[in-house]
Amino acid sequence: MVIDTQNERPRHRIQLSKVGVKNLKTFIITERSGLRHHILPTVDITIDLPAELKGVHMSRLVESMTEELSDQFRVHSSIEQIQMRILEGLVNKHKFKRGEVKFDFEFGYVSHTPVSKKRTWEVCDVTATTIMEEGKPFIHDVEVKVIGNTVCPHCMANNDGLTHIQRAFGKLRIVGEIDKIPTYGSMIEIIEKSFSSKTYSLLKLEDEMHVTKEMHDNPLLVEDVCRNILQHAKEKYSDRDLEMFAEARSLESIHKHDVIAQGRIVTNGYD
């Protein structure tokens, strides 16, 4: 006979908002808009735990993912669809009122050098989370983080055109329902065009000259980059109901600290 200690009464009857597994590794193949991606995400799966139960059946959380990804091995249409099916399978194995699946992974995409037009692979970081809550539609939370650069306009204006440049990070986080969430590719494009210039894994001399000139022709504060991300996202997704967050972070070249700017904007589905 199996004794389920998880179903016993806890010593302290306190409800817990998140209980589950963290840093679980898996392998996924997705195909969207004709592009196939091989993804190795780090996975968190959590559910809420009522005050009267001692614990969660952790194996059921892992089993719900394994059945979706391993027992039914196939190419999936999107990360968000996978996460929805994991939660749908889990709620039949282990009752909960709120469940969450989060994937952290690196996402590869194609780029081309600006002058020599050489094809390159670039990589950015993606965090995708799906939330299932009793009586509510699925909510998806997607954050994309891309590397770019900034050139300081304040120093340039006060130093005869001489200024400092630095690598920067831009983040765009979008929250909404499944049919409103855009592709990762379109989010990457929005962030990349918000910097002083894009960055590239490969640059030939003619490309370096182009990027350097583009940067100095477009000097931006970190605040400018953050606002650019929000404005470009607002223009691109104005016909969708979305909550959007942006962050720009500059790794200052003449300081020992970084600088950041953060903001938020909401679109209500009206052009």
* β-pair type (139-151, 35-39): unpaired
Instruction: Give dist(CA 239, CA 268) in Å, integer.
Output: 7
| Mean pLDDT of the 101-122 span | 96
50 pLDDT exceeds 80?
A: yes
For 136-181, the pLDDT digits (tens) are 999 999 999 999 999 999 999 999 999 999 999 999 999 999 999 9
Question: pLDDT, tens digit, for every residue of 64-91?
Answer: 999 888 766 788 889 999 999 999 999 9
- pLDDT over threshold 70, residue 2: no
Q: What is the pLDDT of residue 33?
A: 73
Which tokens is 154 given? 């304040």
Q: Which of 173, 179, 192 has the alpha carbon at shortest distance from 239?
A: 179
Beta bridge partners of 270: none
Average pLDDT over residues 56-64: 90
Please give the pLDDT value at position 68: 87
pLDDT score at 60: 92
Q: What is the pLDDT of residue 270?
A: 63
pLDDT at residue 195 is higher than 90: yes
> Of residues 4 and 131, which shows the higher confidence score?
131
- Which of 45, 62, 150 lies closest to 99 in space, CA to CA? 45
| CA–CA distance, 156 with 96 (Å, rounded to integer) | 56
What domains are there in the chain, each with its CATH number?
Answer: 12-268 (3.10.270.10)
Confidence band for 133, pLDDT divided at 50, 70 and 90: very high
